[in-house]
Amino acid sequence: MDKIAVIFGTRPEAIKMAPVIKTLQKYPKRFKIIICLTAQHRDLLDEVLRLFEIRADYDLDIMEENQSPFEVTSKGLLGVRGILKKENPDFVLVQGDTTNAFTSALAAFYLKIPVGHIEAGLRTNDKFQPFPEEINRRLISQIADFHFAPAKQAEENLISEGIPKDRVFLTGNTVIDALFYISRKVKDLKILTKRLSFLRHQPSARLILVTAHRRENFNAPLRNICLALKKIVSRNNDLIVVYPLHPNPNVKGPVEKILGKINRIKLIPPLDYASFVYLMSRAYLILTDSGGIQEEATALGKPLLIMREKTERPEAIREGVAKLVGTDIDSIVRNAEILLNSKKTYKSMAKMVYPFGNGKAAEKIIKIIKDKI
C-alpha cells in the first residue's frame, strides 16, 4: 500500500483537490491517504471540506489576519516538515501556485519524498503577475517529479523549460471535475440562501458577478475596479452587481468604502461553493481577477472579463469567451457595456467550451499515479 500525503490550505486548493481525494478513496487497498491542511483560509476552507465530506488528518491552522508571505512560508514549511517526518509518505501531492503549495513541495524535497504537482505549467512570464504565485509555481516545477498539466499550453510550457516529457501529463483541470459534481448537486438543493434572497425580487435583472481580491490589485487597481462598477451600474438601469467580498482587509475595507452604499450593488460575505456555483450559473456576465473562475466560466458558457494585466490561462481568450481588460476604469466600462449592449457580441462569447478538461482530470491523475509509483 502506498501512503500519499495530500496537502492544501486555501479554498481554491480544496475545491481542486477534492475530486483527487474522492478518487483516491476508491482504492482503499492501494492507497492510504493522509490529508494535511495548512488552513490559511479557515472558514472558506472548512465549508469546502463539509461540502465534499472530507476530513483532515492534520490541521496546522496557520491563519492570521493580514499575514504576509513571510509568515505563511515559515509556518507552513516547519509545520509540514513535522507531518512528513512523522508519517513518512511515499508521495506528496500539492496543487496550484499558493505559497503553501510551494513550501509543502519544498518540505517534501528536503526529506527526499517524490512530489506530484496538480495544475502544473501555468505561466504569465512576469514574476510579479500574479504575485507571488508566478514564482511559486515555477519553483514547484523545479521540485516536482510528476507534473499534471491542466491544458495544452501548460504542457508545452513545462517541456520548453526542460522538464522531461515522460514526467509531464496532460490531464485537464480538476476544477472542472468539482464544478460538474457541484452543478449536479445544486439542481437538487434549495440554494437561495438568505444572502441571495434579494435575487427572488429581481428575476428580470441582468446579474453581473464580480470577484476581485488578488494581491497585485490591492490599492489603486482595486479602486479603479470599484469606480468602474459604480459607473457601469449608474449607466445601465437593468443591472444588479453581486460582489462576494474576500475577508482580507486590503479588499474588504476599500470596496465597502466606495461601493457600500450604491444601489443595485450587493456586497455580500463569501459564499459557500455550492451557492457560488449557482451564482455563476445565474450570471449574465462575470468580471474577475481570479484564476479558477476563468476555467469555470468557460465551462458554464458565461462571458468573462478578466481584470488583470496578464493571465496564465490564455485558452479562454483564444476560444473567444474571455477578454483581458486590465484594471483601467475606461477599459472595464467599455468592454462591459459592449457585452451589455451588443447581442451579437454577447452571443459570440456566451458559449460553453472545455479547454480545461471534461471533468475526468482526477481519474487521469490517479491512473498515472497508480502506474508510476
Residues labelled catalytic: 97, 119, 133, 213, 215, 246
Do residues 133 and 107 touch, judged by C-beta distance below 8 A? no
User: How would you classify residue 242: left for phi > 0, otherwise alpha for psi between -120 and 50, otherwise beta?
Assistant: beta
Residue 40 makes CB contacts below 8 A (sequence gap 6+) with: 9, 10, 62, 63, 67, 72, 76, 98, 100
The amino acid present at 47, given as its one-letter code, is: E
Q: In whole angstroms, what is the distance from residue 46 CA to residue 57 CA?
A: 13
User: How would you classify residue 219: left for phi > 0, otherwise alpha for psi between -120 and 50, otherwise beta?
Assistant: left
Alpha carbon of residue 190 to chain centroid: 25
Q: In whole angstroms, what is the distance from residue 349 CA to residue 346 CA?
A: 5
Alpha carbon of residue 70 to chain centroid: 22
DSSP 3-state of 343? helix
Alpha carbon of residue 138 to chain centroid: 17
**C-alpha cell belonging to residue 15:** 475545491
